Chain A
Amino acid sequence: MSKLRGTGFAAVNYPTGMHLGGDPTQSLVHATTSGNFVVTMSSVDLGQGLKTILAQIAAETLGVPLDTVIVDTGDTDTGPHCTGTFASRTTHRAGNAVIMAAAEARQAMLEVAAEKLEVSVEDLETDGQGNIHVKGVEEKAISVAETAGAAHFELGKTISGRGIFLKTPSPMDPETGESDPDSTQAHACTVAEVEVDTETGNVEVLGFKSAYEVGQQVNPALVKGQIVGGAWMGMGHALQETTAPYYPAIDHAPGDFQSYVMPGAADMPSVECEVLEIASRNGPFGAKGVGEMVTNSPIPAIVNAINNALGVRITRIPVTPEVVLRALDEKAANAT
């Protein structure tokens, strides 16, 4: 009995957006009296950081400081419609909606500033620090706060914008499957190294080395969070997790985390990754989406690594110790 090492890899693509489209998200943006901007949505942040990246996208589009952007989401009485957070769709859909709303609000803001400065809108630019000035003449300027105050109390104008993103529905042809199902495709390739104990059947993942192509990253720290979390979930899927341990039988269904075993922090190996950015044609600033794909490449990579280590051909997940030992038994039986 021994510990055998193997390496495997897998290449995957992943679609952005609800399959076949028809899944809009809207955004409203307005300035407060003191020049802050409120982005109103009803999108759901599941912990992945939606509120943070929508603030970044709004600040970038408006040309104002990030800390002056407030994201208010999660109330159907006040927030315009969002189809929901799923299908790696929210950065793409909500991001595009925020760009549209923020661009309209920016235009309204610049019109007020132009009136105050007695110049034309085309001559103005923002410095990203809370000021609007004439291009090339930084001293001819007005602050965003002063502009918003003037709009409210002197000129009686609104500084606001409306945004929506919709990929129009593309029905699937029932005969051929012809359809335009997605907005863009992200890509991943993961190399997994494993060590298999041939006595216990236990598999240890020693490391992941992956490349991910996700379009423009809105927030590289949050992308890395998805990558590591996704690899972690993929490891659980590949090696441990199921609600039906003796599928298709329904017996022994786990009911807690004592019996539904998932990888713990100590099981998590190093995750080396490189992130490539090939712009999406229609994503916000070229972003594609990273939410779901990151779980998918580690799973076949681990299974391929186990098969490589043992010289077997396992074709099911999870590859529990029992599956490993049965595969080794079968290999031994075939050899005799």
Chain B
Amino acid sequence: MAIKDLKIVGQPVKLRDLDTHVTGETVYYEDIRVPRMLHLKMHRSIYPHAKILNIDTSEAKSSAGVVCVLTHEDLPGKKKYNGLAGVGVGPEDESVLAFEKVRWKGESVVAVIAETPKQAEAAAAKVKVDYEELPAVFDIMEALKDGAPVVTDHWPNNHYIFPDNHRAAQVRYGDVEKAFAEADHIVEDVYQTQPIEQAPLETNGCIAVPEGGDGRITVYSNTQGLQFSLDVTADILGVPTSKLRFIGGTVGGGFGGKVDLQPEPITTLAAMRTGRPVKFKYTREEEMRVSSSRSAWRVEIKDGVMNDGRIIARKITTYQDSGAYLRFSSYGGMKHCGHMPGPYTIPNVWIDSIVVFTNRTPSNAMRGFGVMAGSFALEVQMDKVAETIGMDPWELRLINAYREGDMKSHQKEVEDAGMVETILAAAKLAGKQLPEEFQKMSSLDRKAG
């Protein structure tokens, strides 16, 4: 099924670094060798929500091999950040190193830099933080109730505030309530996912190397976006972007788990302060408990359906568990709006996509950000619709599948449509017998008349 007369594109050419991936000779950030390298370990919050009364680093500072200890007082630029501040997302709500309060168990409080990883780890354990524990909230629906513990002062009702003071990213297309009144069936359900770890083979990490005379720092990083990480690191530390160079590009898996600037800013600062190379590599435990997870989603769907299988209205209210800070959750919430109501043409659609704050590990991107939970909910819902109206689930999907030129609920015409052909191909592969009029369907059949 080649689209064009192509010679090299379309060929199953061997992966260029396949052999070295297998032999272990591929060079990743950790494989660079620099002399006099120091190691950074983080002292982390032991409470999901607490007031910080005092931070005592004296014992850590005098611990064997320790070269430098960094608290929020040592931050030369921003004390709070959001990775997307450069593209207008805000406010900057997340502490670079915690001060005043911790808002999730595992939050970074004090960075300890020592000659060896073991010395850094031992010293980090000697940091003493006095806390006054505060009530915490973990359940998104509890967090939205009046009187719930407030996670950050930026969000007094524990939800993100979208432009024009909306509590949700939203879609309003047609009139769902009118259509529900006209529908033969109403089909409703609630779908729930849980936080998930990206689980890359290589954990988050970087090595920051001072380059001497001109004051530049080279950061060897396994970020998914090199200039992005450079720009945000410079912004947080208040250094000119010309002072930083990021090197990477060969990474042991990302899946969205290496987009949120965790090791780079503090490691760069440590290299600036010590004048020596500094490495900060997440342990597997940090990767699982501290680095962003995929968020949990609660998706409520209400469909208005006719006896002939046409879905004439779909109302969706979605709650995304952002954890304690925003990170990119508002982006995920908007992407959810662009994805729903799935590959179907529905004339009346209402979507509210709400970002909720709780005292858990901040969530962020993962493969299918804003989309995966939506597709899960929609496709389990489609089976319920089929069962409710007594229709074959394949036929239900084919009747409603979008065709080329149809209008989507975010008011963009469908382009490059292929859902009908894909469903028919899967049916054939699975030995599903469909009536002839369904087998003849195509993504162009409405245009063809």
Binding site for B on A (CB under 8 A): 7-15, 19-20, 22, 41-47, 49, 51-52, 55-57, 59-60, 66, 71, 73-77, 79, 81-87, 128, 172, 174-182, 184-191, 209-213, 215-222, 230, 233, 237, 241-244, 247-250, 253-257, 260, 262, 272-274, 276-281, 284-286, 288, 291-293, 295-297, 299-301, 303-304, 307, 313, 315-318
Contact A12-B379, Cβ < 8 Å, known A84-B224, A181-B335, A260-B197: yes
Tell me, yes or no, whether B87 is within 8 Å of chain A by CB.
yes
* Contact for B226 among A19, A82, A253, A262, CB less than 8 A: A82
Are A11 and B379 neighbours in the complex by a CB distance under 8 Å? yes
A276 touches B227 (CB 8 A): no
Q: B282 → chain A, closest Cβ, in Å? A: 12
- B residues 241-259 near A (Cβ < 8 Å) are 244-256, 259
Question: Is A45's CB under 8 angstroms from B250's CB?
Answer: yes
From A52, A256, A301, A317, B194 is in contact (CB under 8 Å) with A317
Contact, CB under 8 Å: B360 / A250: yes
Interface residues of B in 122-143 (CB under 8 A from A): 138-140
Cβ-neighbour of A189 out of B189, B192, B425 (below 8 A): B425
By a CB distance below 8 angstroms, the chain B residues around A179 are: 338, 410-412
Find chain A residues with CB under 8 A from B252 CB: 46-47
A214 to B3, CA, bound (A): 12
**Taking A86-B259, A222-B15, A248-B358 as contacts, is the C-beta distance between A12 and B224 under 8 angstroms?**
no
Asked if B277 CB lies within 8 Å of chain A CBs, one says no
A217-B412 in contact given A209-B429, A307-B383 (Cβ < 8 Å): no
Does B171 interact with chain A (Cβ within 8 Å)?
Answer: yes
- A/B interface sample: 16 pairs, CB < 8 A: A10-B375, A51-B17, A74-B247, A85-B225, A87-B369, A176-B173, A210-B429, A211-B425, A242-B196, A253-B289, A285-B4, A293-B368, A300-B375, A307-B383, A315-B377, A317-B376
| Contact (Cβ within 8 A) B422 A286 | no
Contact A14 B288 (CB under 8 A): no
B379 surroundings in chain A (CB, below 8 A): 10-12, 297, 300-301, 304
A276 lies within 8 A of B418 (CB) = yes
B371 A191 Cβ-Cβ under 8 A: no
Say yes or no: B10 contacts A217, CB within 8 Å: yes
B329 at the interface (CB under 8 A from A): no
Given contacts A47-B252, A221-B12, A248-B138, contact A299 B375 (CB under 8 A): yes
Which A residues lie within 8 Å of B419 (CB)?
A: 11, 13, 187, 189, 213
Binds A, one of B34-42, B110-118, B158-166, B262-270: B158-166
Q: Are A60 and B6 in contact (CB under 8 A)?
A: yes
B contact residues around A177 at 8 Å (CB): 169-173, 337-338, 351, 409-411
- Output the least CB separation between B21 and chain A (Å): 7
Task: Check B315 for interface membership: any CB of A closer than 8 A.
Answer: no
Q: Nearest chain B CB to A38's CB is how many angstroms away?
A: 14
Q: Contacting A57 at CB < 8 Å: which of B9, B170, B409?
A: B9
Decide: A76 and B227 in contact? CB cutoff 8 A: yes
Identify 9 new A-B residue pairs, CB closer than 8 A, beyond the known A11-B379, A243-B289.
Answer: A46-B251, A55-B13, A75-B249, A175-B164, A185-B417, A244-B195, A276-B421, A278-B416, A300-B376
- B residues at A contact (CB < 8 Å): 1-4, 6-17, 21, 48, 87, 105, 138-140, 162-164, 166, 169-173, 189-197, 199, 223-228, 230, 244-256, 259, 284-285, 288-289, 293, 296, 321, 331, 334-335, 337-339, 342-343, 351, 358, 360-361, 365, 367-372, 375-380, 382-384, 393-394, 397, 401-402, 409-412, 414-419, 421-423, 425-427, 429-430, 432, 443
Q: How far is the CA of A325 from the CA of B166 in the complex (A)?
A: 41
* Given A9-B426, A76-B230, A82-B227: A244 and B9 interface contact (C-beta under 8 Å): no
Residues of A with C-beta under 8 A to B378: 300
Q: Which are the 5 A-B pairs with shortest beta-carbon distances?
A: A74-B249, A84-B225, A300-B379, A177-B171, A221-B12
* Given known A46-B253, A66-B8, contact A315–B372 (CB-CB < 8 A): no
Choose from A174, A284, A293 the contact partner of B170 (Cβ within 8 Å). Answer: A174
Residues of A within 8 A of B2 (CB): 216, 277
**In the bound complex, do residue B138 and residue A317 qualify as a contact, i.e. CB atoms below 8 Å apart?**
no
User: In the bound complex, do residue A15 and residue B338 qualify as a contact, i.e. CB atoms below 8 Å apart?
Assistant: yes
User: Are B10 and A220 in contact, with the CB atoms below 8 A?
Assistant: yes
Which residues of the other chain, A, contact B248 by a CB distance below 8 angstroms? Answer: 44, 74
Q: Write the nearest CB–CB distance from A84 to chain B, whole angstroms.
A: 2
Choose among B371, B384, B418, B432 the residue that contacts A213 (Cβ–Cβ < 8 A).
B418
Decide if A19 touches B335 in the complex (CB within 8 Å): yes
Q: Which of B382, B384, B416 contacts A313 (CB 8 A)?
A: B384
Which one, A212, A217, A278, A304, contacts B380 given CB within 8 A? A304
Chain B residues with CB under 8 Å of A42's CB are: 226-227, 249
Query: Is A187 within 8 A of B342, CB to CB?
Result: no
Say whether, besides A87-B369, A211-B422, A285-B6, A55 and B16 are in contact (CB < 8 Å). yes
Do B415 and A83 touch across chains, with their CB atoms under 8 A apart?
no
Asked if A277 contacts B6 (CB within 8 A), the reply is no
Inter-chain CA distance A279–B254, complex, in Å, is 28
